[in-house]
Amino acid sequence: MMNKDTVTDTSMPDRVFEDRRDAGRRLAQALQRLPLQDPVVFGLPRGGVPVAFEVAAALDAPLDVIVVRKLGAPFQPELAIGAIASGNVRVMNEEIRLAAWGIDAGEVEAIAARERAELERRERLYRGGRPLPDVAGRDAILVDDGLATGASMRAAVAALRARGPARLIVAVPTASPRAVRELERVADRVVCLEAPPDFQAVGQFYRRFEQTSDEEVCALLGRAAGTASPEP
C-alpha cells in the first residue's frame, strides 16, 4: 500500500506514454498540484533527462543532473545488484542475495570500478567541472523515465540527502510497485503516474523508447541553461 506521501495520477486515458517528452509533460501536471518550495529538478542520465527537461520547463525550475550507475550482475547486466552515485555513494539491492547467485565481494568491487570510470566520464561530459547546485532549504526533484528495481534512484537520493534539501521528491512516469515501496522509505515524497501490479519493464509504458544519447543529454542541459550545449 502506498503511503500518504505518494501521489498517483489515474487521469491518463491509457497506460502508455508516446515518448519521454509526453511522459515529462504528464508528470509535470502532477507535480504542479503540489506546494513546492523553490524547486530544483535533477534528471538521471541518460533516459531521465528528456523527462526532467519537460518537468523543469513546466515548473520554471533549474535543470541539472545527478549521475548514477547501476551495478549489473556479471551474468545478467540488466539485473541490478546495486548502484553508485557521485560522492562515493553506493547502495546495494538487499533483495539480491549475492552469495545465492555466486557473486563474491571481489566481483562486486570489479563491477563497481568499471561503473565508477563510466560515472566519472559522464560527470566530466555533462557537468564540465560545474558543482552541483545548492539545494539547501529547497525541494530537490529527482526524475527518471521509470524504475524497475529503484536501485539507481536510491543512490541518487542518498547522494543529495547530505546536501540538506528541504524535501527530496522522486518523480517518475512509471515504476514497479516494489520500487515505489523502496523509494517511499528513503524519499520524502514519491510521485508516480503508473505502478501496476503487472509491471515488467519500463519500456512497456512507452510507444517510442529509443536510447537517449550523450549528445541529446548535453543539448537539453544547454537549452535549459540558455547556453550552447557542451561538446561531447
What the block records as the C-alpha cell of 11 is 487521469
Instruction: Please determine, for residue 173, whether its predicted confidence score (pLDDT) is greater than 80.
Output: yes
Last residue of a domain, one of 125, 160, 195: 125
Q: Are the beta carbons of 118 and 69 closer than 8 angstroms?
A: yes
**Rounded distance between C-alpha atoms, residue 180 and residue 178, angstroms:** 5
Asked whether residue 232 is assigned to any structural domain, the reply reads no
For all residues of the chain together, what is the average pLDDT? 88
**Rounded distance between C-alpha atoms, residue 167 and residue 113, angstroms:** 31
H or E stretch covering 25:
helix 20-31
Section 78-97 average pLDDT: 79
Asked whether residue 172 is assigned to any structural domain, the reply reads yes
The enclosing domain of 193 has a CATH number of 3.40.50.2020
Beta bridge partners of 189: 169
Section 57-70 average pLDDT: 95
Examine the domain organization and report whether 181 and 144 are in the same domain.
yes
Q: What pLDDT, on the 0 to 100 scale, is given for residue 213?
A: 96
Domain membership of residue 144 as a residue range: 6-66+134-225
Q: What pLDDT, on the 0 to 100 scale, is given for residue 205?
A: 95
Section 109-133 average pLDDT: 91
96 band by pLDDT with thresholds 50, 70 and 90: low
* pTM for this prediction: 0.86
Residue 217 CB partners (closer than 8 Å, separation 6+): 45, 46, 49, 65, 126
Asked whether residue 230 is assigned to any structural domain, the reply reads no
**Rounded distance between C-alpha atoms, residue 176 and residue 146, angstroms:** 9
What the block records as the C-alpha cell of 219 is 543539448
| pLDDT tens for each residue of 192-213 | 999 999 999 999 999 999 999 9
Q: Are the beta carbons of 167 and 39 closer than 8 angstroms?
A: no
Instruction: Please determine, for residue 97, whether its predicted confidence score (pLDDT) is greater than 70.
Output: no
Least confident interval from 66-75, 135-144, 147-156: 66-75
Examine the domain organization and report whether 147 and 60 are in the same domain.
yes
Listed residue (76, 48, 201, 64) closest to 138, CA to CA: 64
Beta bridge partners of 40: 140
Examine the domain organization and report whether 110 and 85 are in the same domain.
yes
79 band by pLDDT with thresholds 50, 70 and 90: confident
**Bridging pattern class, strands 68-73 and 76-85:** antiparallel
**Rounded distance between C-alpha atoms, residue 109 and residue 59, angstroms:** 40
**Rounded distance between C-alpha atoms, residue 157 and residue 154, angstroms:** 5
Q: Are the beta carbons of 44 and 144 closer than 8 angstroms?
A: yes
Q: What pLDDT, on the 0 to 100 scale, is given for residue 8?
A: 46
Least confident interval from 19-28, 125-134, 169-178: 125-134
Instruction: Please determine, for residue 150, whether its predicted confidence score (pLDDT) is greater than 50.
Output: yes
More confident: 228 or 111: 111
Section 180-191 average pLDDT: 96
Residue 227 CB partners (closer than 8 Å, separation 6+): none
Q: What pLDDT, on the 0 to 100 scale, is given for residue 7?
A: 52
What the block records as the C-alpha cell of 179 is 520500487
Examine the domain organization and report whether 23 and 43 are in the same domain.
yes
The count of domains in the chain is: 2
Q: How far apart, in Å, are the Cα atoms of 228 and each of 40, 59, 218, 222? A: 21, 22, 9, 5
Name the phi and psi angles at 77, rounded to 5. -55, -25
Examine the domain organization and report whether 144 and 221 are in the same domain.
yes
Instruction: Please determine, for residue 101, whether its predicted confidence score (pLDDT) is greater than 60.
Output: yes
Least confident interval from 6-10, 99-103, 126-130, 212-216: 6-10
Instruction: Please determine, for residue 78, whether its predicted confidence score (pLDDT) is greater than 80.
Output: no
| pLDDT tens for each residue of 7-38 | 544 334 357 999 999 999 999 999 999 999 99
Section 218-222 average pLDDT: 96
Q: Are the beta carbons of 73 and 103 closer than 8 angstroms?
A: yes
Name the phi and psi angles at 223, rounded to 5. -65, -40
